[in-house]
Each structure stands twice: as structure tokens, then as C-alpha cells.
A and B are shown apart, each in its own frame.
Chain A
């Protein structure tokens, strides 16, 4: 089977859906002829032209507001934020209008607005270009929050996002954009709220989010050489969150570690831990553990940047600590 990069797979989903549905258009900075800072739209300008690939000035709150109105009229805008950090300038529109309009209109208005952007700490991007923020969005009723971790999932989840009627925050970790995976030619969709068990095991469960999936799998390879089989779950979407798959795994293993590069307080790990304690208390053989990035603004200096995200040694040690509990 052919292999595609994460970015190419997501772009293929976008290309297919734009061909199928003329109401889809993309808005953002540098997404027209330039093809997007991360090549999210490269080639699409030639296919679909300036009306459907709209370059904007640097005014997030303005074009988010316009896209919110456009979605209410029945079109399907995609806002490409380049770096999702820039979404923060439009939080008023997003939380008060985008997330609530279907509720406020008793479902008469739809909000098929896709908000996509890169996340994550890598490549000395510094503190204004390294955020992930998904815990904030998971906290708001109304948003779908999608964090794909490979090319196959990126395409299948993006296709699902482009067919739905809800606002979707589609977050692409910068360290994964050039990672390759097998992507079939034929069309497929990955439903929201369906976690992937990316590695089966019995000694402990690791729920890994975003870039941590790959790091968890590498650690599990090392542990497998010692005869220790760890189960790794990639939630793929954080809202909705597939708790049943996590509970089933904890029922098997009795031990749970949640790995997430983003900050620990009120994070997705806290949410998963609370739900597992509430619903799977009698399955737990050890305290639920978390491994997160350091709770600090992201440094620019590459050595300091490397120090604030979990490194392979810490990932391995976190699993060993869990097993020793």
C-alpha cells in the first residue's frame, strides 16, 4: 500500500471533499497561492481558485466571526490557523458563538466550522507557537476536539469532520506532520469517539495523546524485550472521549498511565483518571499516574525546550514506576 505523510493525507481528504462539496472553502493566512505554512493547502489554489482559498489579513477575531456567520448560512468554512496559538485571539467568537449557536437556535442552525492548526512543542518554535490548548476546548460543550497521531487517522478523521454539522477543532502536532503511514486509495472514514488500541498488552495501560503515542510505543518496544507487555491506547478524539475502550483495557491490566505533552493541571489526564476512578475503581491495582510536559511557558532555547517535554528516559521510567506500584 502507498505511504503518505500526515500532511499529505489530510490534504487529500480536503481535496476530495472540496471536489465533492462546493460549499467547502478555506480561510487563513498564507493558505492561497502560498499553499499554507505547513503545506496544508498546497496545490488547492490551482484547483479551486481564490474564491475557495481565501487569504486573510492577520485578524483572527474578524475572520472567525465572518466564518461563523458563513457557517450559519449553510456553507462549510475551514479556518486554517497555521499555529493554533493564534486561535486565542478569537476565543469570544469561538466559545460564545461557535460552540453555542446550535444550542441557542434549538438545532435550527448548524455550525459545520472546522478550525485547524498545528500544535505541540518542537523545533524551537518558542512560546507563541508551541501551544496545544486542547484541554481548554474539551472543557467547552459544543466542540469536537480531534488529535490525530498518524497519516491514516488524519485522513479518516478529517473526512469525518468535513461531513459533520458540529464545530471541530482539528489539531495537528508539528512533530508528526512529516511522519508517514499506509493510507489506502479507497475512501474511508474514522468515526469520532473511537479510540485505537495501538498496541496490546496485559501489564499496564498507557493512554497516550498526540506526539506521546509514538514515544510510548518506543518505550513499549524496550519493555517488550524484557517480556513486559504494555497496552497503548490512542484516544484520537478527546471530545468525544472513548472512555469504554480505556475502561476495558484497565479492566484487563489494572494499571493506568496517561501521557500528554500538555500541562498537567485540569488536563485530559485528569479527566480520564477521574472517569476511570468513578467507573473502574474496582479494576485498579495501582494509583493512576500521569506524565506531562513541564507546567511552564515553552522556552525557545532548544536544550531548554527539550527539557520541558517528556523524553524517552522519563517515558520508560514512568511506566516502570507504574509497574512498581
Chain B
């Protein structure tokens, strides 16, 4: 049976490649391991081996060489001695253009039941086109796709023959889950709707917004500030917030927001790192949360009158390695923390220690509830 030679997928992200030249020619006998052709993709030249033994048959009308072709595009066949390749036995679509087969395009543009009957002479090639365009998928991947609601027809498989396997489906599901969502009821939007200036949570000793802007404007020497960034697992904090919201139904005051919790835990962290709040009396510490703008991480600009500013990125579900040795991963709510400090009033080690404590407090809220560093 003729084996199809197609544009291979040579890298995780490869979607098309240029067939540079045929190393074996039409009619050549090939063995497994023989180099069939070279492909340029992602700025690299790759040699493509044969997995099969037989005779290489390249369609005479192929215009594949020199053209960018999608992964999976049909290039040639390997047949057995005495066997005719499909392009000599039946009408088929042009090699190299599987994804743009006119019959297929015609079908795609036709509503069900309106297929032009004059095309039935091409039924076999249409069949080929349809089968060719539907990727193969492992039973397990098909099951997982159904469980996760992933439409696998459009996926590209990473299996040896281009087969869609479980990891492809899971990667697609993860990518979908990380797409930006429209604003959902969150502490941030809730604050906004109540007229509270969003994004900035100020300490009780905060200065006015005007002073802040003024301060940032005159913060001219980047050499006087240092920035430290880390990522914290906010799953516990999100859960704590959710529980507070759920338990607050009968409270007269609005429930503490997520930003309120951050302000509280940062205050507690400042208590155990005195270097950072040496000049606390003047409103020297600011928390800036840009999570609702879908900002992952940023380096906040610091006012000259301040010691430090903590930038909070958005909380987003990520796949995190929780045990490298046992190869265990988990979906956790992650949040970036960026601390910018005045390097003249705060040494980098103290700043790092402070950020570490904030990270610990975010990850284990129980620590600041009981004031344990």
C-alpha cells in the first residue's frame, strides 16, 4: 500500500516548512533511514528520513519544491515494486495543496444537502481530501478531549505520525483556560463600582494622589532605586478571600476586599522588617495593584518621598511544578510581586527579606493572622 510522505512537524510550534530539495528522486529505491528531502523551517535546514522501504514516487505536477507548505501537506508516496502510486491510478487533488483542495473548499462552502452532484465523479478524491484533513487522534486523547471540552479537529498532533495524543489536548485545554476572560465580579471591580479608586491601596498614612504623581515625576534617578520580583502562590489567599466573602453576608460594612487583605498582610510584613518602615510616618509605602488590567507583572515607579512600592500583578491560574522529584504538577492561582525600593534608605537584603515575607504571607495567610514571620 502506498505510504504518504508529508511535510513533517519538526518542532513544537512548526506550522509550515519550505521543501528545499529532494535528495531522493522520483523512482529511487529508498530504505528506512535514507534522507528523502530537506526542509527549511524556523530558520533551520532539516533532513527528513524515510521510515519506510520502497520506491519514492513524486507526482510529476508537484510544485512543492521552494514553496512553504503546511505541516501534513502531501508531498509524495513510497510504493512497493509493481505498485502504482495513487496519482497514476485515480484522479486526486494536486499534491502539495491538500489543505486547499478545491473539492474540499467547495464542500466547506456548501450547506449540507447541497453538494453539487456533478462533482460525484470526484467522490474518491473528495473522500481522500476529507480523510486527509481530519487528523488522527489516539483513543485516549479523544476521551480526554471529550472530558475537557476540547475541539480536537483543529489541533496539530505531536505523535510520531502527526497523531494527536493526550499531551496535545491537555496543552490546548490549558491554553484556552489562560485566555483573558471578560471582567467577572471580583474585589477590584466591586471597588470600582463603589467609586473607590481602583488599583491603588494606600496605607492609613497615605498621601494624596497629587502628591504621589508629583513624587513619581521627580523620581529622576533610576540608580537610586532597586526592583525585586518574585511570584507567589495566591491560592490560599484567594480561598481566604472567598470564605470571607461567603461569611460576610450579615455584616453591615462591606466585606474586606482582596486588596484589603493585601494591605493587611503587607502591613503585618512591614512590622517584622523595620528597615522598610523606618520612615513610615510619612506615607512611605504604597501598594499598586494592576491585576484588573490583566497585567502579569510590572516595575512600579516610586515616589521620591517614599521608601518602597509594591506592585501586584494579576492572579491567574497556572500549571506549577509542586514536586519535581515525583513529577507532580498542579493548577495554582499565581500572582507576581514586584518591589521597588529606595536603595539609599533600604538595603537590597532587607528588601529581599521583606518580599520573601510578603510571599510567605500570601502563600500561607495563617502566618500573618497569628503574626508569625
A264 at interface by CB-CB < 8 Å: no
Tell whether B279 is near chain A: CB-to-CB under 8 Å: no
Q: A301-325: contact bitstring with B at CB < 8 Å (1 yes, 0 no)?
A: 0000000000000000000000011
Query: Can you list, as one digit per residue, whether each of B216-236 has a CB less than 8 Å from chain A (1) or not (0)?
Result: 000000000000000000000
Bound Cα distance from A325 to B167, whole angstroms: 12
Contacts A227-B327, A229-B327, A254-B166; A282 near B160 (Cβ below 8 A): no
Instruction: Answer whether residue B141 sits at the interface, using C-beta atoms and an 8 A cutoff.
Output: yes
A281 is an interface residue with CB less than 8 A from chain B:
yes
Give the distance to chain A from B346, nearest Cβ to Cβ, in Å: 40
Partner-contacting stretch, out of A19-27, A29-37, A186-194, A283-291: A283-291
Of the candidates A227, A282, A324, the one whose C-beta lies within 8 Å of that of B140 is A282
CB proximity of A49 to chain B, nearest CB, Å:
56
Q: Are B140 and A284 in contact (CB under 8 A)?
A: yes
Per the 8 Å Cβ criterion, residues 143-195 of B in contact with A are 143, 159-160, 163, 165-166
Q: Which of A227, A229, A283, A325 contacts B139 (CB 8 A)?
A: A283
Q: Decide yes or no whether A202 CB sits under 8 A from chain B.
A: yes
A307 to chain B, nearest CB (A): 19
A286 touching B327, Cβ below 8 Å: no
B140 pairs with A202, CB closer than 8 A: no
Q: Check if A325 sits within 8 Å of B163, measured CB to CB.
A: yes
Q: Give the chain B neighbours of A324 by CB distance below 8 A.
A: 160
Interface string of B108-142 (1 = CB under 8 A from A): 00000000000000000000000000000011111
Q: Are A285 and B166 in contact (CB under 8 A)?
A: yes
Contacts of B142 in A (CB 8 A): 282
CB pair A284–B139 under 8 Å, yes or no, is yes
- Name the residue of chain A whose CB is nearest to the CB of B167: A285
Given contacts A202-B327, A227-B327, contact A282 B139 (CB under 8 A): yes
Cβ of B156 to closest chain A Cβ, rounded Å:
16
Report how far A324 CA is from B143 CA in the complex, Å. 20
Q: Is the CB of B143 within 8 A of A286?
A: no
Question: In the complex, A325 Cα to B138 Cα: how many Å?
Answer: 10
Q: How many residues of A contact B (CB 8 A)?
A: 12
User: Which residues in A have their C-beta under 8 angstroms from that of B143?
Assistant: 282-283
Distance, CA A284 to CA B141, complexed state (A): 8
Q: Count residues of chain B with CB under 8 A from any CB of chain A.
A: 12
Nearest chain A CB to B139 CB, angstrom units? 5
A202–B140 CA distance with the chains assembled, in angstroms: 15
Minimum Cβ distance to chain A for residue B14 (Å): 16
Q: Is the CB of B140 within 8 A of A285?
A: yes
Select one of B140, B160, B163, B327 contacting A254, CB under 8 A: B140
CB A227 to nearest CB in B, in angstroms, measures: 7
List chain B residues, Cβ under 8 A from A286. 138, 159, 163, 165
B148–chain A nearest beta-carbon distance, Å: 14
Residue among A285, A324, A325 having the largest count of chain B Cβ atoms under 10 Å = A285
Q: Which residue of B lies closest to A324 (CB)?
A: B160
Q: Which one of A202, A227, A281, A285 contacts B141 once the chains associate, using CB atoms below 8 Å?
A: A285
Distance of A324 Cα from B163 Cα, bound (Å)? 11
Residue of B nearest to A287 (CB): B138
Contact (Cβ within 8 A) A283 B327 = no
Q: Give the residues in chain B near A227, CB-CB below 8 Å.
A: 327
CB distance from B2 to the nearest CB of A (A): 21
Interface string of A200-214 (1 = CB under 8 A from B): 001000000000000
- In chain A, positions 263-294 with a C-beta closer than 8 Å to chain B are 281-286
CB within 8 Å of A: which B349-371 residues: none
CB distance from A152 to the nearest CB of B (A): 26
Contact A325 B140 (CB under 8 A): no
CA distance A309 to B141 in the complex (A): 34
Measured between beta carbons, the chain A residues less than 8 angstroms from B159 are 286, 325
Q: What does the 1/0 interface line of A65-97 toward B look like (CB < 8 Å)? A: 000000000000000000000000000000000
> In the bound complex, how far is the Cα of B144 from the Cα of A254, in angstroms?
11
Q: How far is the CA of A217 from the CA of B142 in the complex (A)?
A: 31
**Shortest Cβ distance from B168 into A: residue:** A285
Say how far A124's CB is from chain B's closest CB, in angstroms: 32
Instruction: Find out whether the CB atom of B327 lies under 8 angstroms from the CB atom of A284.
Output: no
CB–CB A284/B160 < 8 A: no
Chain B residue at smallest Cβ distance from A251: B140
* A285 contacts B327, C-beta separation under 8 Å: no
Cα distance, A284 to B143, chains bound together (Å): 10
Query: Considering residues A227, A281, A286, which has the most beta carbons from chain B within 10 angstroms of its beta carbon?
Result: A286
- Which residues of chain B come closer than 8 Å to A202, judged between CB atoms? 327
CB of B23 to closest CB in A, whole Å = 23
Contact A281 B327 (CB under 8 A): no
User: Which residue of chain B has the shortest Cβ distance to A286 in the bound complex?
Assistant: B138
Task: Return the chain B residue nearest A201 by Cβ.
Answer: B327
CB of B331, distance to nearest CB on chain A (Å): 17
Tell me the bound Cα distance from A282 to B137 in angstroms. Answer: 11
Chain A residues positioned under 8 Å from B140 (CB to CB): 254, 282-285
Q: Which residues of chain B are within 8 angstroms of A285 by Cβ–Cβ distance?
A: 138-141, 165-166
Candidate in B138, B142, B159, B166 with the most chain A CB atoms within 10 angstroms: B138
Tell me how far the C-beta of B68 lies from the nearest C-beta in chain A, rounded to whole angstroms: 26
Docked CA distance A285–B139 (Å)? 6
Closest to A281 in B: B139
Query: Within the assembled complex, what's the spacing in Å between the Cα atoms of A324 and B327?
Result: 19
A22 CA to B264 CA, complexed, in Å: 81
Q: Which residues of the other chain, B, contact A281 by a CB distance below 8 angstroms?
A: 139
Shortest B113–chain A CB gap in Å is 33
Interface residues of B (CB under 8 A from A): 138-143, 159-160, 163, 165-166, 327
The 25 sampled A-B contact pairs (Cβ below 8 Å) are A227-B327, A229-B327, A254-B138, A254-B140, A254-B165, A254-B166, A282-B140, A282-B142, A282-B143, A283-B139, A283-B140, A283-B143, A284-B138, A284-B139, A285-B139, A285-B141, A285-B165, A285-B166, A286-B163, A286-B165, A324-B160, A325-B159, A325-B160, A325-B163, A325-B165
List 18 additional A-B contacts (Cβ < 8 Å) besides A254-B165, A324-B160: A229-B327, A254-B138, A254-B166, A281-B139, A282-B143, A283-B139, A283-B140, A283-B143, A284-B140, A285-B139, A285-B141, A285-B165, A286-B138, A286-B163, A286-B165, A325-B159, A325-B163, A325-B165
